[in-house]
Each structure stands twice: as structure tokens, then as C-alpha cells.
Amino acid sequence: MKRWITLATALLLIGAAVAADKVVEKSSRHTPDWIGGMEEGYIIVSAEGITLDEAQQKAMTNVREQIVSAIATRVHFATSITLHEVTDNGSIQSHRELDSKLSVQAADIPYLANVSPSHAADYYWLKSRTKDQSTYYTYHLKYPLSNSQLRLLVEEYESRQKMLNDSLQAFASTNFADYDNLDQMLIRHAHLKQFAASLHEDDSRREICAMIRSNYEQMLRKNLRVEAISSDRSKTVAGLFYGDKQLPHTLVPKTHSNCLTAIETKLTGDAATITYDYSTGCYEDEQNWLDITYTVLGKKVTTRCFIP
């Protein structure tokens, strides 16, 4: 196993303190022999702070950073996603390979949440006074991390990354032509948004999520349309279609007319049934129309129906 050393040599810290500053308090009479050294299965760090708590927290941060670094040197994990792009009629037009390299982030390592001073193998601290009478603390920490623990952490990390990549590929493989319901499409879009939000800010997979989300919206923009199934002077039945497929949905369209009054809309089965009063404001020698508009992911899908 790679041996652990501090980011700043502990002996230099002690030497500098002896030369310039006076030690006024310490946690124990004897200085542990592990300070400034290397031991198999341990992380040895040192940190300074104005208060003892600050110095301790900085030392713990150093421990976590070294755990992340140790995992990063043993992990070689990249994301390769096939994105399905869809034509106007819903068929697959092309495939694009989206690749990104992952950097190991602390947020991806749940074990770090359990790293605490109480699990340290040993510690030692000094309180020193400078020539100008200000004081500071130096905290030395010996933290256990065996080869077997490190291997387990690497395995857990790689397992989590594979799970995330598999989920991402499933999102990328989605083809709305395979869906029979608009609500299912919108739920899929929402789940992708939630998945992206669950990734940390520096995760390059966020960019892939944005491309997949754009692809979803493009599928809807190219293929979604409103069509009047039937229309007369008392009601119009309108359907929402994806390509040639009529989609059940729970969205209620907005309506607008140049002459119809008392307009009411109800969802009936797979369609929207729009009732109205024709006699009050419409004339047979004029064009009488009804606009039916759905808003899907911020995009308006509309049709104008002329009343016979």
C-alpha cells in the first residue's frame, strides 16, 4: 500500500515552532514518534488553526482529501453514452457517442461522512505563542486506512458510478415514439431533471443530461401536434398526437375564438371536448374559428379549427 505523508512535513512545523514560537501547552508530555513519519495503513496529517477546534477540523479536512486522492489514483472511470436522435416521423436518425471523464469528488464517497476525530488512532496538539503574543494550535492526527478498506472504498465508488452511468444511458436511449401517454413523457423528462440535480456541480454528466433533455424537447417539438377530430356548431373534439399516435393526457388546453361564447373544456377519454355557444356571436357568412392550444414544456402546440 502507498504510504501516507502529510502535505506539509510535520517536522518542519515543529522545527519552525521551536525556532520562532514558544510552546505553552500540549496534549501530552511526550511527542509521539509517528509525527512526521510514515506508517503502513495510516494517514498522518498536521494542520494549524487559531483555535484547537479549527486546527482539528483542518486536520480532518486533510484526512478526507487524502482519502479522495487515494481513491482517485486507483479509479479509472469514464462515461460513454449513446444518444438517440429522432426524426420527424419518430424513427432513429443517428447515434452520437457522448464521452466524459469523471473526477473523483468527495460527494461521491459516502464513507467520508463517517470520518471523524473519534475514529482517529492517535492525535497530538500544541499551543504556541508567537513573539507578538498571539497564539495558535498545531494539530497532528494519525488516522487508520488499511489496504482492505481502501479496496472496498474503490469498489463502492465504481459500483455507484456504474449505477449512475446505467441510469444515464437509459435516459439517453429513451424514444418517445415508444410511449403511449403524454404524461409518461413528461414524467420521464422530470425524472431526468431530478437525476441531473442529484449530481454534484462539477460532474461532467450534467452536460450529457442537458443534451439528453434537449433531445427530449426536440422530439416533442418535431412530433407533437393538436388535431380536431370532429367539429360542429355545438362542440369540437380535439386530440393531441405524437406522430400518428393519439396520446392520452391530463393537460387541459386553452381556447380562444373570434365569435364563440360560453366555451367550456372537458377531458373525455383520450381527447378534449370543447363545448360552446355558436348562435350568439357567430355568422354564417364569416369565418368562425376556434384556437386550441396546449403548453408542453414551455412550448405552445396549437391548431385553429374553423367551425362549419
**Whole-number pLDDT of residue 269:** 81
Evaluate whether residue 184 is within a structural domain. Answer: no
Does residue 84 or residue 70 have the better pLDDT? 70
Is 211 within the bounds of a domain? no
State residue 38's pLDDT score.
Answer: 87
Q: Looking at the domain assignment, is residue 238 inside a domain?
A: yes
Separation of alpha carbons 219 and 62, rounded Å: 48
> Residue 40, class by beta-carbon neighbours within 10 Å (0-12 exposed, 13-18 middle, 19+ buried)?
exposed
Q: How many domains does the chain have?
A: 2
Predicted local confidence at residue 85, as pLDDT: 62
Is the pLDDT at 225 greater than 90? The verdict is yes
What's the pTM? 0.72
Q: Are residues 143 and 234 in the same domain?
A: no
Q: Which of 114, 135, 153 is the last residue of a domain?
A: 153
**Least confident residue range of 17-31, 221-235, 237-251:** 17-31
131 and 34 part of one domain: yes
In a domain, 185, yes or no: no
Residue 28 lies in a domain: yes
User: What one-character-per-residue DSSP string does 153-179 give?
Assistant: HHHHHHHHHHHHHHHHHHHHT--GGG-
**Cα–Cα distance for residue pair 302/143, rounded to 1 Å:** 65
Domain that holds residue 57: 10-76+106-153
88 located within any domain = no
Report the pLDDT value the prediction gives residue 86, as an integer from 0 to 100: 56
**Higher per-residue pLDDT: 252 or 221:** 252
- Output the domain CATH number for residue 271: 2.60.40
What's the pLDDT at 4? 45
Residue 176 covered by a domain: no
**Of 201, 202, 266, which Cα lies nearest the Cα of 235?**
266
Are 131 and 236 part of one and the same domain?
no
Residues whose CB is less than 8 angstroms from the CB of residue 135 and which lie 6 or more positions away in sequence, other chains included: 24, 50, 127, 128, 129
Q: How do residues 43-72 score in pLDDT, each as one tens digit?
A: 999 999 999 999 999 999 999 998 888 888
Which of residues 112 and 136 earns the better pLDDT score? 136
Q: Name residues whose C-beta falls within 8 Å of residue 158's C-beta, 6 or more positions apart in sequence.
A: 75, 77
Co-location of 255 and 133 in the same domain = no
Q: Domain check: are 145 and 33 in the same one?
A: yes
Does residue 209 lie within any of the structural domains? Answer: no
| DSSP 8-class letter at 165 | H
Distance separating alpha carbons of residues 149 and 143, to the nearest angstrom: 12
Who wins on pLDDT, 111 or 180? 180
Over residues 258-279, mean pLDDT: 94
Tens of pLDDT, residues 204-224 = 889 889 999 998 998 888 899
Backbone angles phi, psi at 265, to 5 degrees: -125, 130
Give me 203's grid cell.
Answer: 460532474
Average pLDDT along the chain: 85
* One domain for residues 15 and 144: yes
Q: What is the pLDDT of residue 106?
A: 61
Is the per-residue pLDDT at 74 higher than 60?
yes
Cβ atoms of 271 and 117 closer than 8 Å:
no
Same domain (yes/no): 15, 149: yes
Assess whether pLDDT exceeds 90 at residue 14: no
pLDDT at residue 279 in the model: 93
